[in-house]
Structure 1
Amino acid sequence: MTQQNDASTETEPQEVPQPAEATDAPEAAEPRESAAPTEPVESIASSDAAAGDEADESSAADEDDQTGDDQTGDDQTAAAASERGEGGPSSRKEHLEREGEVAADFLETLLDIADLDGDLDVDIEGDRAAVAIVDSDEGRVPRRLVGQGGAVLEALQELTRLAVQAETGERSRLMLDVAGHRAQRRADLVESARVVIDEVKETGERRSLEPMSAFERKVVHDAVLAAGLTSESEGAEPRRYVVVLPA
């Protein structure tokens, strides 16, 4: 019996394939700067319009100082009177007299309630009704109705205007004075304005006055205009003031 030996076959070791050398990764491209987005035309127009509105508001404020009151309300009042056929001088005078009567009744009631002395004078100055609380035979008008810097007087005037508007249905430009405060203040302002006007004419340089109320600025503007110069208002309430300009 033949014995067969299995021959062990010797296998050659196989070469392990080497991994391919990694190639350098391509450099990442630098991100390109995107162009700044252009501002839409509508946005530019809106910005310009806003700037224009601010300039218009500033001009409107100066115009209010020149006229002493907001012209929009005056135009509406005139339009309402025209629709009723009340545009003539006679009817306008009657309307102002009516305003004065309503204001006097309101103020008389107010003085009675507060138990304060004072008589009422009613007049027409220019194109507005004028009412004054003056000293009476019974006693003097309390100066506290004027207040510091005329603050109480301004508030009382606004309250009286509202009472007149509630009765007549139209905006009122009525002027109220207490114990001659406005009359004296007007004279003082005109004198101060004349001094500044002379300085501007002599030096040729602009001059500024102290902060004033709308009524006081109106008095100064009128005095400057009468002297042949021009003026304008600068600043914001309550520190708004008049600047006198050289010719």
Structure 2
Amino acid sequence: MHVSEDLKHDPALDAPQTDRPSKVERLEQEGDIAADYLEELLDIADLDGDLDMDVDGDRASVSIVGADLSQLIGAKGEVLDALQELTRLAVYRETGERSRLMLDIGGHRAEQRRRLVALAEKSIEEVRASGESLSLEAMTSFERKVVHDAVAAAGLTSESEGTEPHRHVVILPA
């Protein structure tokens, strides 16, 4: 049997395409862009802070640590949320792709995550003891995500209900 030249298998087609960076490389690039943007912001605001970049699961993560950065956090984290959105926009402007970058300043989000996991664990125990669903207070999308993750890790289910700014988590019994 004769195989024509255009029907022969080309092993080069099996090779992975190397022109597109890997997911980790793309996330690292997001972190670099975000860090550059935030360094400029700190310079403009004349604030001292050190930047730490990481890839946390499926998102880039940038933390600013330093002396007093409370003005970059705000009373309830609203300034931090706004800075995160501005940083995501800076990344989008450079890459053309939507970013899920997480920004933390002065350990605020890390502490918030710890507090939310503790709340979720306490609430999970209440739901298990009562056998009834439990509605939590209104939360931001970040806060709801932390609670949903903690509930899923405990083997229960949860859902978000309501509309912003009153959207909240409901933990369901098993």
Q: Which residue of 2 aligns with 1:173?
A: 100
| One-letter identity of the residue aligned with 1:197 | I
SS state at 2:97 partner: coil
- 1:32-76 per-position Cα deviation (integer Å, ceiling 9, x unaligned): xxxxxxxxxxxxxxxxxxxxxxxxxxxxxxxxxxxxxxxxxxxxx
Unmatched segments (≥5 aa) in structure 2: 1-16
Partner residue of 1:234 out of 161, 169, 172: 161
SS state at 1:122 partner: strand
Mapped partners of 1:124, 1:188: distance in 2: 22
What's the CA shift for 1:85? 5.5
Bigger radius of gyration: 1
Give the conservation status (yes or no) of the 8 Å contact 1:133–1:141. Answer: no
Mapped partners of 1:92, 1:205: distance in 2: 41
Mapped partners of 1:184, 1:236: distance in 2: 26
Partner residue of 1:102 out of 30, 33, 47: 33
Q: Which residue of 2 aligns with 1:49?
A: none
Q: Percent identity?
A: 65
| One-letter identity of the residue aligned with 1:161 | R
Q: Which residue of 2 aligns with 1:148?
A: 75
Give the conservation status (yes or no) of the 8 Å contact 1:103–1:160. Answer: yes
What's the CA shift for 1:84? 8.5
| One-letter identity of the residue aligned with 2:51 | L
Q: Which residue of 2 aligns with 1:186?
A: 113
Mapped partners of 1:216, 1:118: distance in 2: 25
SS state at 2:63 partner: strand
Q: Give structure 1 regions of 4+ aligned residues with deviation exceeding 6 angstroms.
A: none
What's the CA shift for 1:105? 0.5
SS state at 2:166 partner: coil
Q: Which residue of 2 aligns with 1:206?
A: 133
What's the CA shift for 1:125? 0.3
Q: Which residue of 2 aligns with 1:159?
A: 86
Unmatched segments (≥5 aa) in structure 1: 1-82
What's the CA shift for 1:148? 2.2
Q: CA RMSD in A?
A: 1.7
Partner residue of 1:128 out of 54, 59, 62: 59
What's the CA shift for 1:141? 3.6
Q: How does 1:31-180 map to 2 (within 5 A)?
A: 86=20, 91-135=22-66, 140-180=67-107
1:243 aligns with 2:170: yes
1:217 aligns with 2:144: yes
Which segment drifts farther, 90-99 or 173-182? 90-99
| One-letter identity of the residue aligned with 2:100 | R
SS state at 2:43 partner: helix
Mapped partners of 1:92, 1:125: distance in 2: 12
Give aligned pairs, total: 159
What's the CA shift for 1:153? 0.6
| One-letter identity of the residue aligned with 1:159 | L
